[in-house]
Structures are given as structure tokens and as C-alpha cells.
Amino acid sequence: MAILVTSWGCGRLALMIGQPRVLGEMVAGVLLGPTFLGALFPGVQQSLFPAEVKPVLYVLSTIGLTMFMFLVGAGLDHGSKEKGEGGKAAVLAISGILPSLLLGAGVGVLLHDKLSLPAVSVFQFALFVGGALSITAFPMLARILYERGLQNSRIGRLTLFAASIDDAAAWCLLAVLSALHANAGIGSAMVTIGLSVAFVAVMLFGVRRLLRPLGDQVERNGKFGFDHMYIVVGVVLLAGFCTDYIGIYSVFGGFIAGLAMPRNKAFREALHGKMMEVVCVLLLPIFFTLSGLNTQLNGFGSAAMLLPFALILVAGFAGKYFGCALSMRATGFGWRESFAVGGLMNARGLMILIFINIGLAQKMITQEVFSMLVLVAVITTAAAVPLYRWALPSRVEQQMMFLPQEREKAPA
């Protein structure tokens, strides 16, 4: 109940100040953790979240995030694409990775002696910082687009697919770094990447065909019953288990499972109608809370940390914002749309929190670096919607966002 009440209250406050509800939910998780509640009322925090509760929260949060990303994948409209949209998404993905990765790695080299653990090499530390900054929070971006009804707009589709590529690349990089840090060798990381490619191929070319009759049946009968739900949930959980076993986190298994679902309109509408509200209201706040319980910002604040934090923040923001905006402009979009995408791609919230929590647990970064990257996640995510609105105010948004054949059915 404490999680639901806090998430609802912070979500409402976020909406009141013009931010997406999901940002308030992320802040709610931090407030319930040691940074706020644990510092002011340690007894209350301990009674709400004793050690034996955390494994339960972990399982529920993983299921919730995987289910949400499944619904995002299942809801993507594959039928109304512009010619060459896949190539544009690939260009946007590369421009979202490389500038942030290079700038972040450069800052990592500069700050290694000051901030890194002795056992972590310059190479590993620099790549970890660059990898963290190259992430776009795929689930966070999806929630922002869904709240605005833009998930199937031109730039909505582009940013979702580009963000999924960025995050997958970041997880592959993390797999390489984890293998090197554990002295497991580069071969272990290459196995992870190879298995990931094989999993995507099986889902999109094999499982999709097997599920096609399911969509046809729902289309004919107009009913989405318990048997259908058992099959769908089973496929999602199995896909999440497979990717988690491979080593690239279950969220991508959920998304790929969504892409493999039947594309029938009736099937997708029934699926979203039965699952979306429950997942967003009940399960996702648990994920934010678990992230907040692992977030400790009390150690950050000394003057010596301000310059390193500023360098990391500028590198992360500039790499994403200007890299993505310039690539969008180069592929034929106007400046308004280009800067709007640059703002959206800077939303890092969820995935960077997962990324850096793994780094902290594996002793690849210090608590100080972890705290800095948490603040970078909050600031860049909070800036995403204001930057988007600055580039595409409401009076021009609907005219520019949709393909010509889509404009007549665009949301008001």
C-alpha cells in the first residue's frame, strides 16, 4: 500500500508540473529508499522493507517490467511505415550510442584516478561510464510516448526502435565488461551476443508464425479468453527467462515477445485492454521502489564531486541531444522534429539505474560514481519532455508528427 500511495501521489505531482507520470513514479522509488525515508525515519523504512521482502520485490518488479515492455512491443504498429524507416532508425540508434559512448569514455579516462576503484583499469572504467551514458531508458521513453499517444507516430516509432537498439548494445557492452572484470575472457561475452541474435531470430521467424492462428481466432470470435491469456503470458515469461539466462536482462525478452505477437487489430486492442492498467498501476511501481531501495545519494554533495559530476552530466546530455538531433536532420527531418527526438532520447531513467546497480554490485564503480549517475538519470529524464515541448509545441505537434495518411486519425 505504501508503494501505491507514494507512486500515485508523486505521479500526480509530476503531472501538475508538466512532467510525465512515470518520472514521479521514479522519484517515488527514491523517496522510499535510504536517501529520504531511510535517512529521516529509519525505523519506518526498515519495517516497510525488511531484508526478507526484497527478493519478493525483485521477482515482482522483473515480471512487471518484462510485461510492460511486452505490451510496448505488441502495440507497435508495423503496418504504416515510411519507406526507409528502418534505415533511419538504425542511423538514429548509432548517433545515440557513439557520441555519448565516446564523450563518456573520455570523461572516464580523465576521472579514473580520482573516482575509480584500484582494481578497475582505465579501459574498463572509461567504457563503463560511456556505456551508462549511451543508454536511452527504453521503458521510460515508451511510457512517455504512451502517455502522449505518440507511440505509433513517425518519430515515436523511430525513437522506440532506436532506443531498443541502444539499450541492447549497452547490455552487450556490459556483458563484455562483466566478463573482463571477472577475468572470464572475451569469449564468454561473444557467446552471450551470439545467443541473443539466435533468440531474436527464433522469436521473430519461428514463434511469430506459430502464434498467428491465435490472432486470427480472436479476430473471428471477438473474444480474448483465459486460454489466450495463458498462452500469451507463458510466451512472455519464457522469453524473459531465456534472455535473463543468456545475460541481457528479461526486459528485452519481453519486448521481442511483443514483436512476435499477432498483428491483428482486435487481438492487440484486447491484449492492451486486459493488461496495461494492471501492469502500470500495480507492477511497475514495485520496480521503481526496488531501484530506490538500492539508491544511496546521501554520500554525494562535497565540493570535490561537483566538477566530476558536471563533466559526466554534460558528456551524457550533449552526446545524446546533439548527436541524435543532427542525425535526424541529416536523414531528412526538420529541425523541430530533430531536436524533439534529441530531447526524448535523453530519457535514461530505468535502464541506467539497472546498469549502474549491476556495476556497483560487481564492484566496477564506487558509491560516488553510482550517485552521480543516478542524478544524471533524474536530470536528463526530467529534461526530456520540456525539451520535446520546446521543439514541438502543441500547436505544431499534430501537424508534424504523423504521416499524411495518419493525420486524420491523430489524437486531438
**N-term to C-term CA, the chain:** 35
Question: Is the pLDDT score of 283 beyond 70?
Answer: yes
pLDDT in tens, 137-160: 776 777 677 766 776 677 777 888
Output the domain CATH number for residue 129.
1.20.1530.20
Q: Which pLDDT score, from 0 to 100, does residue 77 have?
A: 59
Question: Is the pLDDT score of 184 beyond 70?
Answer: no
Taking all residues of the chain, what is their mean pLDDT, rounded to a whole number? 80
Q: Which pLDDT score, from 0 to 100, does residue 109 have?
A: 92
| Gyration radius of the chain over CA positions | 21
Task: Label residue 397 by pLDDT band (50, 70, 90).
Answer: low
Residues contacting 280, CB < 8 A, separation 6+: 68, 143
Total number of domains constituting the chain = 1
Domain contains 377: yes
Q: Which pLDDT score, from 0 to 100, does residue 210 have?
A: 92
Per-residue buried b or exposed e for 151-171, using 16+ beta carbons within 10 Å of the residue's own CB? bbbbbbbbbbbbbbbbbbbbb
Residues contacting 52, CB < 8 A, separation 6+: none
Which ranges of 247-366 would DSSP assign to H, the alpha helix?
A: 250-259, 265-278, 284-293, 303-330, 335-344, 349-361
Domain contains 407: no
Domain contains 408: no
Q: Which pLDDT score, from 0 to 100, does residue 76 have?
A: 65
Domain contains 410: no
Looking from the CA of 323 toward its CB, the CA atoms found within 13 Å total 26
Domain that holds residue 93: 2-45+53-401
CA distance 312 to 352: 14
Q: Phi/psi zone of residue 411: left (φ > 0), alpha (ψ -120 to 50 degrees), beta?
A: beta
Domain contains 387: yes
Domain contains 411: no
Domain contains 406: no
Domain contains 274: yes
